[in-house]
Structure 1
Amino acid sequence: MTISYKISPASLHAHIFHVSVLIKNPSADGQTVYLPAWIPGSYLIREFARNIVEIRAESAGNAVAITKSDKHSWQAEVVKGPLEIHYSVYAWDLSVRGAYLDQTRGFFNGTSVFLAVQGQENTPCNVEIVAPEGKEYKNWKVATTLAARNAKQGQFGGYQAANYDELIDHPVEMGEFSQISFKACGIPHDIVIAGRHQADLKRLKKDLKQICEYQIRLFGEPAPFDRYVFMTMAVGDGYGGLEHRSSTALMCNRDDLPLAHETQIKTGYRQFLGLCSHEYFHSWNVKRIKPAAYAPYDLSQENYTRLLWAFEGITSYYDDLTLVRTGLISQQEYLDLLAQTITGVQRGNGRTKQSLEDSSFDTWVKFYRQDENSPNSLVSYYTKGALVALCLDLHIRKQTQGQKSLDDVMRALWLRYGKDFATQGEGVAETAWEALASEVSGLDLKSFFDSALRSTDELPLQALLAEFGVDWQMRAAVSAADKGGWLDKVLSPSNSLGVRTSNEGGFVKLSHVLDGGAAQKAGLSAGDLLIAMNRLRVTSGNLDALLASQPTNGEVEIVAFRRDELMHFNVHLQSAEANTCGLRLTSGSNGGNITSADWLLN
């Protein structure tokens, strides 16, 4: 017995997929079907069912009443034979999370388009992916890691999945796209790029092959999939990624992709490689080694865990670490990236209010719903989680004289929880991650985890990095564009308002007003539009210069619009906080017992 789906790009200009599902053995009480409320890997209730614009049901050619029972569920009346449900899905979400359709391409995650059959989630599924009608679409292809049933790879036709969970974990790209293939540790990999671009695909293939082979060998061959696809949408301005069991959906700026004449790794390309590295690492860490709260997922509601620091934070640690260990970036380039991560965490007062465990638990209501006060109220389990992973790695290496590391913990997690997850389905209990780390390292790590995860204490980054031959610099930012990095000459701190800004209609808008800063103390608020400082017009191009022209810790008059009201503020300027980090390898020193090269390269 199978559940059969059919999906057609029915109206490209209206962005409509038509979908049908044939249920051969519907419930005797009236079959309920539902669409997930969220997609694994993106922890926010997204209400995908809102995009179903019409739905009907039939059995043996006769109409069957189908009634919505809650925000994402429908129930059909009792029928004696097979039940078929037809519905249309509006697809205009240009992201990695939803579904998209126009005359240039189609893309969907199963969570956005395939209704689940309540009570039959473990039933095998067939799905027919239909090509759009019209000769102008004759060159469209399909990219997915769904198992083929009668379709040839890259073509429209029949695919299959062992159950609903597998069905929704293989996104589908369709259209005319670039594609290049390679093997990593003997496993076929494809790179698919939709959208206009001029990428050097051979360069991209070479670099991604190094990333993939390193990570496969880190956990141990063979890889946990038979084939892998990097699905990339190149746009003028966009960024994002979402992991799946044997593929990832990515979005990047087309200018970030490598060009044939470029020999160095530019900043945007380095960021893109880091994104690919991050999502690929998730093939192990979260897709197969996963919290018990996600084994299995309940896609109808929030699934709470305090372990996201380990699954997103540790993945964020290894994404850039993979780049330096494969030689794609230098050790100093890696330290610059690490310094930027430290800077990002230090510039948010939320780190003094929210613990990392609480950040993980509250992701549903805080991290994915950030607002103007977020820097003052939350800390990211991605960025601070990565720094905790770094501290844990260095702590283990130091205490074991280099005999153990975080690599050993990750391999042990893979062997105990991930390798056989498909058959055993055991997730990591809330306290089991820490217990396994202590077991593998042979160390009592309780005090480390109590401080790093359950308090708002500052992390011992400076001391640990010094042990491994890394110099530490903490200074004031030199401009709004300063994200961190080592400066040979540190200037005296400039004046600061304690704000983050954006442009809106030619005005400087206060996007965030930071706790304890000059702006907050004077009564300025997020959303205010700056007009003038001491009777001189404020622009995004001159704000830093206007502040620098004032006496240190002086007083200025700022005129601003709040809504449509003109307001005046007397602001006592403050010196910019020393919250910008720089790192470099200690000159002429390899650090303590373990050299910096040992840490960065293996």
Structure 2
Amino acid sequence: MKGKILIIFLLISISAIGQKIEADLTLSSSPKDKLEVSVVVPHLDSVSTIYYIPMVIPGSYASKKFIHYIDNFKAFDNQLNELSTSRLDEKSGFLIQNADKLHKITYTISDTWDNHDKSDYILETSGTNFEDDSVFLINFHAVIGYFDTFRKSPYEITIHKKTPIYGSTSAPITRAKNQDQINTKSYAELIDNPVLYCIPDTISFQLRNTRFFFSVYSRNRINNASQVADITKPLLKASFELFTDSFPMQEYSFLLFMTGKQDSNISNGRMGALEHKNSSFYFFPEEIDTLQLRDNLQRVILHEFLHIITPISLHSKEIHNFNYNYPKMSKHLWLYEGVIEYLSGLLMLHNNLKTTDDFIMDTRLRIVNTSKHSAFSMTEMSTKVLTKDFSGKYRTVYTKGALYAFCMDILIQEGSQGKYSLSDLLMELYEEYKNHPFDDDNLFTKIEEKTNKQVKKFIDNHIIGDQAVQYDTIFNKIGWIYKPEEIKKVLWFGDMYFSYDTEKELFIAKDSKKDENAFGLMNGDIILSIDQQELKESNYKELFELILNPKSDKEVIIDILRDGKENQQTAKPIYVNMKEIHEIYPNPDCTKIQYELRNQLLHNKSSQ
């Protein structure tokens, strides 16, 4: 990683008594960007065995080739004679012959963040990153494999490190000056607890019964843990609507890796997050604009936190008995992701963290994105999400899934005159199944028992089936007007597009033709100021809004640099007819019943 090198020496000894797996990791520099692993194995009775590397992990609905990052795999007997092994890429494992003589295996692992092969891309949130004594992201599913025989054995991981780096994790951890020790009850618990090592930037606060921890690595120290904690606290308070008395954990950790401009080789504009039982990990760019930082983090943080409801607690047997290499997928991704995505936005609306206009725009954009895909069954997509035919449709759980959750909420609240909601349904199911999984085929029956026939019809037609939703009919129930297409008069300066040069910190016109916009902008023009305000990273959204989405017909002045010379351009927008798609807006003439249902659903209060 640009000369920043790591070697982690890992010695795993598995005690035959109690089957405890003991691992040692040493974080230090090396001329290789590798992690070296040595596993001592207790006696096996079988003549052959497979050492598996997870292919699919909980919370990530795609098959990934972690095994491709493993090299130099070898197996030895107790005299260090090498045993026959073969690589099983399709099974994501290594076949070891004469397993009854097996004593030790060794191999090396490459850093996944250094891989730039798009065909073998692994999300940063589920990968590994090792940088010369400064920052380490360790996802154990990419570091340690498992034998089926020992998958439920306890793990004891001792990590030797150089101060002052600090390891943040939700795992049970004992800290000393130069080493940490992590103890988990099983392989599943181990891989559910990533570790972020970096120069400490941490903070915590108590909310109700839970201590919330924040650990932030900001490449250029632009952002910090205190900022993230301040953004997160009102989101956690918003979840009181669901957790009315207490949270279901004593501790929870938010781990964030925030990339800088120099990280284009690993970030490439991407961002993401991955949930765990007692933590969540986030991969985001640094942001100097505090408002933009808040916008970037808010929904993602609340969404990931609400996963403690589902699928972490409320889930089917397929999730509960998850097989990392031969997974059988549940049919309820619409619940695990779609309902959570919808409710995260709704709770923000209920708690004044977003506006009604924001919520309407979210709904509209979900319809726009959903309309780009041909009809398909959500349940079929969910069970086949790992296949080539359906893997490309996975992202629709955040658009189509959330949109359908909204429609269900409308039908549930209409049927109960606003006395019962999708949130109520979710939390009842959570209480019923938090200690044991539900049957995948029986969940819809349970939902029908708790709601009404209109909800069942919606599920049959649109979640199990692939019929298109009549949004005008459903939205009319809350006094919203929906128009698939509408011609509107809008103010317009013309076609202009812009890019940002992160190295030079300049905003530059692109795909812009002089005779197609009122300012006469051309490709390569550098935009210096808009409306006599210098254009910066901290204000560019507000200023570009003046020329890309004008609200009045007043003149706007922009200063540009073209061919090394500064000049000023002045223009007024004109009204043009423009086709808008999937327009949504409140009906000013809606009935009292429609208004009251809308007020109850969107603002969580009666209008009486």
Q: Is 2:511 aligned against 1:540?
A: yes
Match for 2:399: what amino acid? T
Question: Which ranges of structure 2 fall in alignment gaps of 5 or more residues?
Answer: 1-17, 115-123, 262-268, 500-508, 518-576
Contact kept, 8 Å, 2:381 with 2:390, in 1: the verdict is no
Which position in structure 1 is the counterpart of 2:135? 105
Which position in structure 2 is the counterpart of 1:96? 125
Find the aligned partners of 2:395 and 2:182 in 1 and give their Cα distance. Answer: 42
Find the aligned partners of 2:159 and 2:201 in 1 and give their Cα distance. Answer: 20
Find the aligned partners of 1:35 and 1:211 in 2 and give their Cα distance. Answer: 36
Find the aligned partners of 2:300 and 2:223 in 1 and give their Cα distance. Answer: 16
Pick from 591, 594, 598: which aligns with 1:592? Answer: 594
Q: TM-score, normalised by structure 1?
A: 0.74
Superposition deviation, residue 304 in structure 1: 2.8
Find the aligned partners of 2:333 and 2:189 in 1 and give their Cα distance. Answer: 22
Find the aligned partners of 2:214 and 2:61 in 1 and give their Cα distance. Answer: 26
Which position in structure 1 is the counterpart of 2:581? 579
Match for 1:114: what amino acid? I
Q: Is 2:215 aligned against 1:205?
A: no
Matches within 5 A, 1:450-461: 450-461=460-471
Which position in structure 1 is the counterpart of 2:314? 289
Contact kept, 8 Å, 2:479 with 2:595, in 1: the verdict is no
Contact kept, 8 Å, 2:139 with 2:194, in 1: the verdict is yes
Superposition deviation, residue 598 in structure 1: 2.0
Find the aligned partners of 2:241 and 2:76 in 1 and give their Cα distance. Answer: 52
Superposition deviation, residue 233 in structure 1: 1.3
Pair 304,92 (structure 1): closer, same or farther in 2 beyond 3 Å: closer
Find the aligned partners of 1:221 and 1:63 in 2 and give their Cα distance. Answer: 60
Find the aligned partners of 2:301 and 2:212 in 1 and give their Cα distance. Answer: 13
Which position in structure 1 is the counterpart of 2:344? 319
Matches within 5 A, 1:85-484: 85-93=105-113, 95-103=124-132, 104-131=134-161, 138-148=163-173, 150-151=174-175, 156-196=179-219, 197-199=221-223, 201-215=225-239, 218-235=242-259, 236=261, 237-255=269-287, 259=290, 265-266=291-292, 269-346=294-371, 348=372, 350-351=373-374, 353-366=375-388, 370=392, 380-418=396-434, 420-421=435-436, 426=437, 428-443=438-453, 445-475=455-485
Which position in structure 2 is the counterpart of 1:55? 73
Find the aligned partners of 2:145 and 2:308 in 1 and give their Cα distance. Answer: 25
Matches within 5 A, 1:477-496: 489-491=488-490
Find the aligned partners of 2:209 and 2:344 in 1 and give their Cα distance. Answer: 22
Contact kept, 8 Å, 2:343 with 2:423, in 1: the verdict is no
Contact kept, 8 Å, 2:411 with 2:454, in 1: the verdict is no
Q: Deviations over 1:197-235 (max 9, x none)?
A: 423644532331232243365145443333111111112
Contact kept, 8 Å, 2:56 with 2:62, in 1: the verdict is yes
Aligned residue pairs total 499
Question: Which ranges of structure 1 fall in alignment gaps of 5 or more residues?
Answer: 132-136, 260-264, 478-488, 504-537, 547-574
Superposition deviation, residue 18 in structure 1: 2.3
Find the aligned partners of 2:511 and 2:94 in 1 and give their Cα distance. Answer: 51
Q: Deviations over 1:130-154 (max 9, x none)?
A: 32xxxxx532110111112x436x9
Which position in structure 1 is the counterpart of 2:12? none
Contact kept, 8 Å, 2:166 with 2:198, in 1: the verdict is yes
Which position in structure 2 is the counterpart of 1:17? 35
Find the aligned partners of 1:277 and 1:394 in 2 and give their Cα distance. Answer: 22
Find the aligned partners of 1:61 and 1:23 in 2 and give their Cα distance. Answer: 14
SS in 1 for 2:113: coil
SS in 2 for 1:127: strand
Contact kept, 8 Å, 1:471 with 1:586, in 2: the verdict is no
Find the aligned partners of 1:125 and 1:188 in 2 and give their Cα distance. Answer: 25
Find the aligned partners of 1:387 and 1:155 in 2 and give their Cα distance. Answer: 50
Match for 2:256: what amino acid? T
Match for 2:474: what amino acid? L
Q: Is 2:54 aligned against 1:44?
A: no
Find the aligned partners of 2:30 and 2:599 in 1 and give their Cα distance. Answer: 53
SS in 2 for 1:43: coil
Pair 199,475 (structure 1): closer, same or farther in 2 beyond 3 Å: farther
Q: Deviations over 1:221-277 (max 9, x none)?
A: 44333311111111243211111111111111212x763xxxxx44x5323210111
Find the aligned partners of 1:238 and 1:289 in 2 and give their Cα distance. Answer: 29
Pair 121,406 (structure 1): closer, same or farther in 2 beyond 3 Å: same
SS in 2 for 1:402: coil
Find the aligned partners of 1:451 and 1:97 in 2 and give their Cα distance. Answer: 35
Superposition deviation, residue 384 in structure 1: 0.5
Find the aligned partners of 1:543 and 1:77 in 2 and give their Cα distance. Answer: 71
Greater mean alpha carbon deviation, residues 294-303 or residues 391-400 = 294-303
Find the aligned partners of 2:214 and 2:255 in 1 and give their Cα distance. Answer: 6
Contact kept, 8 Å, 2:216 with 2:225, in 1: the verdict is no
Match for 1:116: what amino acid? Y
Pair 141,454 (structure 1): closer, same or farther in 2 beyond 3 Å: same
Find the aligned partners of 1:218 and 1:138 in 2 and give their Cα distance. Answer: 41
Find the aligned partners of 1:84 and 1:459 in 2 and give their Cα distance. Answer: 58
Contact kept, 8 Å, 1:4 with 1:22, in 2: the verdict is no
Find the aligned partners of 2:447 and 2:306 in 1 and give their Cα distance. Answer: 19
Find the aligned partners of 2:58 and 2:281 in 1 and give their Cα distance. Answer: 13
Contact kept, 8 Å, 1:9 with 1:17, in 2: the verdict is no
Find the aligned partners of 1:431 and 1:544 in 2 and give their Cα distance. Answer: 60
Which position in structure 2 is the counterpart of 1:601? 603
Pair 492,270 (structure 1): closer, same or farther in 2 beyond 3 Å: closer
Pair 216,75 (structure 1): closer, same or farther in 2 beyond 3 Å: farther
Superposition deviation, residue 40 in structure 1: 1.7
Find the aligned partners of 1:275 and 1:12 in 2 and give their Cα distance. Answer: 36
Superposition deviation, residue 325 in structure 1: 2.2
Contact kept, 8 Å, 2:48 with 2:98, in 1: the verdict is yes
Find the aligned partners of 1:16 and 1:338 in 2 and give their Cα distance. Answer: 45
**RMSD, aligned CA:** 3.6
Superposition deviation, residue 10 in structure 1: 5.0
Match for 1:43: what amino acid? Y
Q: Deviations over 1:26-65 (max 9, x none)?
A: 4454553211112222222111111112233455563442
Q: Deviations over 1:253-302 (max 9, x none)?
A: 212x763xxxxx44x53232101111111112111212322221111134
Q: Deviations over 1:413-462 (max 9, x none)?
A: 111212x14xxxx2x33332211211222546332112111333332333
Superposition deviation, residue 79 in structure 1: 7.1
Pair 29,223 (structure 1): closer, same or farther in 2 beyond 3 Å: farther
- Residue identity (%): 17
